[in-house]
Amino acid sequence: MRFGTVRTDLGVETEVNVAEISALDYEGRGVAKVGGKTVFIKGALPSEKVGFQITKQKKQFDEAEAVAIFKVSDERTVPQCRYFERCGGCSLQHISPTAQVAFKQRMMEEQLERIGKVKPKQILPPIYGHVWHYRDRARFSVSLDKSCRLKLGFQAKKTNDVVGISSCMLIPKPVSDKLSAIRELLQDLAEEGSVARFAEFYCGSEIIVLNIAFKSKLRQNEENRIRQWFDSELSDDWQIWLQIEGGVSQPFYPKTDKTLKYTLPEFGIEMPFRPGDFTQINADTNRLMVSRAVKMLDIRRGERIADLFCGLGNFSLPMAKSGADVVGIEGAENLVRRARQNARLNGCGGQTDFIAANLFDCTEKTVASWGRFDKMLIDPPRSGAYEVVKSLHTPYLPQKIVYVSCNPSTLARDAGVLVEKGYILSGAGIMNMFAQTSHTESVAVFDLLPQTGKKLFENKRQRIIKEGGCK
């Protein structure tokens, strides 16, 4: 064990552990080997020599925090946000934007190789956009102390405590500039007896919605207070929605013809949505992501393509506009209804069919019930699409699969399954949808090797014969 000394805020020198950092982990922590044991050090970067203090000891590894940097990486930068050290919203602000992209690319490649035992034939150029003020939606936590003083912000790192904020570098400036005013409104309502559960915003192409959730119905004077506050603080490109007792969010004030929606101009698509609907948090990068996915599918007119975990139709509608007949499958009934509405609105209802189904309970029988697809797009949540890829079988293996992932480890696991089924991982790359955070969005394309279906069918037939089944 190596030691060094640092001077505390009180001017006292104290001894600390010293380590050289070799890599970053998936949370953006520095990785070091100390006495043969792995240590994950918050705030440390590769190539740095740091002084650290252990915060948690476990059998296989330790967790620590950097308290001094003795050798500084060229990629280190000064965090722009004053809440960076406490707020749990970001973890990579101390790393330059270009290094963040490289880190995520390397993380994806390492996970594919280590977990999936696969390597893409081609590494795709990364997709990235704005590194600040890019989030088009976010939910703010609310907490109230014993003195009835309200905090509005994000949860602190590794705890449930709320870090009160008056600005945020990741959300649009018009929203960030109003955080103090929103907190004051919620403070006034709390003092009158109505405490908000949370507040969230959604930025569309023509309106910003502020949705506030309350545990119980508001009194008339409280509703009037919100209206007065809106008239003095916000403009007509905002609207307030209310969510009462865990119910569905409803527009409250003011009445407007403007709708919450995002656009995909390349495909001539407008996508209306409501608070609570799942949408990508970065509209600009989403446009680039959709464009890349559709190009990777190499759609031919009349092809039958599946869009699994289709949501509102973010990929389904552009695929239909490109000439495909699309079947979108989604677990949430409300999203299926919204996808159908969006398809009709955008003139592609005749080329789309949306089905509600639990894709986490998928079997070979389920896959067979869908019929044959020429190609498939999969865009699952963080837990991945293991049940789906495991259930794909001949003769229902699509010739091409594009897999959009928000978790490199589950992408890697599922990639290993697809390669075992006869696919080749033709390409993979990252999309820096969530700059300043360790969250990694990626996309991969799988192509079915020639004769794979016939080989799998013959192997299955021979196995049945060997086990004494039908000949």
- pLDDT-derived band at 157 (thresholds 50, 70, 90) equals confident
> By C-alpha distance, which of 405, 395, 390 is closest to 442?
405
In tens, the pLDDT along 127-155 reads: 999 999 999 999 999 999 988 999 999 99
In tens, the pLDDT along 253-262 reads: 999 999 999 9
In tens, the pLDDT along 252-302 reads: 999 999 999 999 999 999 999 999 999 999 999 999 999 999 999 999 999
Residue 146's alpha-carbon distances to 121, 149, 191, 194, in angstroms, are 59, 7, 12, 15
Candidates 81, 87, 90, 406; catalytic one: 406
- pLDDT-derived band at 9 (thresholds 50, 70, 90) equals very low
pLDDT value of position 470 = 47
Which region among 2-11, 385-394, 412-421 has the lowest average model confidence (pLDDT)? 2-11
The two tokens of residue 170 are 């990741």
pLDDT at 88 over 90: no
Is 406 an active-site residue? yes
pLDDT value of position 456 = 55
pLDDT at 467 over 60: no
Residue 421's alpha-carbon distances to 146, 366, 387, 464, in angstroms, are 59, 17, 14, 18
In tens, the pLDDT along 163-197 reads: 999 999 999 999 999 999 999 999 999 999 999 99
Which region among 53-57, 368-372, 413-417 has the lowest average model confidence (pLDDT)? 53-57
Q: Which residue has the tokens 């949808």?
A: 433
